[in-house]
Amino acid sequence: MNYNFNETLDHRFTESMRWRQPEGRSDVLGMGTADLDFCCPPCVKEATLAVCEENIFNYRYKPDSYYQAIISWFDRKYGLAVNREWISSIPGTLSAIHMAVRLFSKPGNYVLMQTPYFTPLKAGIEGAGCRFLPNPMVLKEGRYELDFEDFEEKIRQYRPSLFLLVNPQNPTGRVFTMEELLRMVDICAKYNVRIISDEVHFLITYDGKKHIPIYAVSEKAREISILIFSYSKGFNIMSLPHAMVFIANRALREQWDRFVYAFNFNYASNSFCIAAVTAVASGAADAWLEELTLYLQNNRDRFIHAVKERSLPIVPLKPEASFLFWIDCRHSGIEAEKLDQVFLDRAGISLNNGLAHGEDGRGFVRMNFAVTEKNMQLALERMTGMFAKYE
Ligand SMILES: Cc1ncc(COP(=O)(O)O)c(C=O)c1O
């Protein structure tokens, strides 16, 4: 290993959203919100230090090197030829999605989405005055599968304006295959449904699973979809406000460009964001990301193995991507509504109740494993103690 993921800040005292301690406590492990505990790759520090050295924060265009880095990333990783015209940026993924929902649907329209879901996306759909249309995924032998019959039937019956795809999926950790993506695209194209594809969790995938951007699926996919992603979730640059929007379809892009013009986001993704994104997209952190993925995979596999070995009454599903466990606690004897509180009170672990991801999350919790090995082990020991006392 060339990078040390074991050493990091004590996030309890850095105003980290995930680690902020509840009133009167200082022992709680922050394992909720989806960011990472690790320092960024060295190239991020170098690139942002150079911005500091200049100490000038005037209005600026994005340099060619920024566009070239992003275009080369998609070429290297996916063999996808991205046209510079497709690219725009917005300070955050969620804001980009919410803007796209507002632009490409009307109040009262249905927006289709797989469930269990990531709550702020549903809030965005409803905030735009649209109606949330669920396409529940089906849990089969520890893996969530798409229900295509329901998918097509919902589209046929409710005629949604949009399908909001989340790939890799949060919270289930599924990475959709080419076959699944082709099928979703075909059905959407058949009924004239546009796709917004949220790919923010695309950087970390396991066990040889490969993320496929919606734009690498087919020409048809490029015609009907809007691709939204960010480099934040893999490189831990969430608070450098920068998400990317690709729109290949000229008519949709013109609509989008007119819509975003008034917001004047040109400089909202500031010089630090541009420098950091240019550095990581150019490949300077590829080796770092590979090592991080192995580190996280080790956290994932050791936890799953230990839970089984210790016969804990919970089942962590094996995520194919990102760093979020979706843990089945339906046989834990703990009331679904109280799961997060019980983990907090009895194990000092702060995580998310599955119910926050919709009714399909009843009896589940979501737990972030992008923590140091030491904290992962501590979480395991505390859970073991908690269940020993609970029986
Ligand atoms: C599926 C999904 N979309 C969007 C976001 C938020 O991204 P951003 O912080 O860039 O708004 C998250 C964060 O966890 C997420 O899981």
166 lines ligand 1 (CB under 6 A): yes
CA–centroid distance, residue 94 to ligand 1 (Å): 6
Helix (H, G, I), strand (E, B) or coil at 328: strand
pLDDT at 269: 86
pLDDT at 95: 96
Q: What share of the chain is helix, strand, coil (3-state, %, to 5)?
A: 45, 15, 40
Model confidence over 117-147: pLDDT tens digits? 999 999 999 999 999 999 999 999 999 999 9
Distance separating alpha carbons of residues 268 and 178, to the nearest angstrom: 35
| Residue 268: band (very low, low, confident or very high) from pLDDT cuts 50, 70, 90 | confident
Percentage of the residues of the chain whose pLDDT score is greater than 90: 97
| Residue 188: band (very low, low, confident or very high) from pLDDT cuts 50, 70, 90 | very high
Res. 390: pLDDT tops 70: no
Which residue puts its alpha carbon closest to atom 2 of ligand 1? 200
200 lines ligand 1 (CB under 6 A): yes
End-to-end CA distance of the chain: 41
Instruction: Quote the tokens at residue 285.
Output: 């952190």
Q: State pTM to two decimals.
A: 0.97
pLDDT at 1: 83
| Residue 265: band (very low, low, confident or very high) from pLDDT cuts 50, 70, 90 | confident
Res. 155: pLDDT tops 70: yes
Please, what is the angle between helix 148-158 and helix 178-190, to 10°? Answer: 20
Sort residue 173 into left (φ over 0), alpha (ψ -120 to 50) or beta.
Answer: left
Distance separating alpha carbons of residues 324 and 168, to the nearest angstrom: 11
CA–centroid distance, residue 57 to ligand 1 (Å): 27
170 lines ligand 1 (CB under 6 A): yes
| Residues 272, 51 contacting (CB under 8 angstroms) | yes
- What is the number of other CB atoms lying within 10 angstroms of the CB of residue 345? 12
Q: Decide: residue 225, CB within 10 A, 0-12 exposed, 13-18 middle, 19+ buried.
A: buried
197 lines ligand 1 (CB under 6 A): no
Atom of ligand 1 nearest to the CA of 118: 1
pLDDT at 223: 98
CA–centroid distance, residue 386 to ligand 1 (Å): 31
Res. 77: pLDDT tops 90: yes
pLDDT at 391: 58
Helix (H, G, I), strand (E, B) or coil at 182: helix
Res. 267: pLDDT tops 90: no
| Residues 113, 90 contacting (CB under 8 angstroms) | no
Which of 128-145 are b and which e, b meaning 16 or more Cβ less than 10 Å from the residue's Cβ?
A: bebebbbbbbebeeeebe
Res. 389: pLDDT tops 90: no
CA–centroid distance, residue 155 to ligand 1 (Å): 25
